[in-house]
Amino acid sequence: MGCYHSKRTKKTPGYEEPTVLAAETPFTVSEVEALYELFKKLSSSVIDDGLIHKEELQLALFRNKNKRNLFADRTFYLFDVKRNGVIEFGEFVRSLGVFHPNAPVEDKIHFAFRLYDLRRTGFIEREELKEMVMALLHESDLLLSDDFVEKIVDKTFRDADLKGDGKIDPDEWKEFVSKNPSLIKNMTLPHLKDLTLAFPSFVSKTEVEDSEM
Residue range 123-163, pLDDT digits in tens = 999 999 999 888 878 777 777 888 998 999 999 999 999 99
Question: Are 62 and 139 in contact, with CB atoms under 8 Å apart?
Answer: yes
- Collapse the DSSP code of 197 into the 3-class scheme (helix H, G, I; strand E, B; otherwise coil) and give the result: helix
The HSE-up count of residue 199 (CA atoms within 13 Å, CB side) is 16
Give the gyration radius of the chain's Cα atoms.
Answer: 19
DSSP 25: S
What's the Cα-to-Cα distance from 208 to each of 32, 99, 188, 201, 211, rounded to whole Å? Answer: 22, 21, 20, 11, 5
**Mean pLDDT of all residues in 175-194:** 85
- Reported in sequence order, the residue ranges of the chain that DSSP labels E, i.e. its strands, are 124-125, 167-168
Number of CB atoms found within 10 A of residue 192's CB: 21
Question: Are 103 and 97 in contact, with CB atoms under 8 Å apart?
Answer: yes
% of residues, the chain, pLDDT over 70: 82
What is the pTM assigned to this prediction? 0.80
- Structure confidence at residue 195 (pLDDT): 61
pLDDT band at 185 (very low <50, low <70, confident <90, very high): confident
- Structure confidence at residue 13 (pLDDT): 83
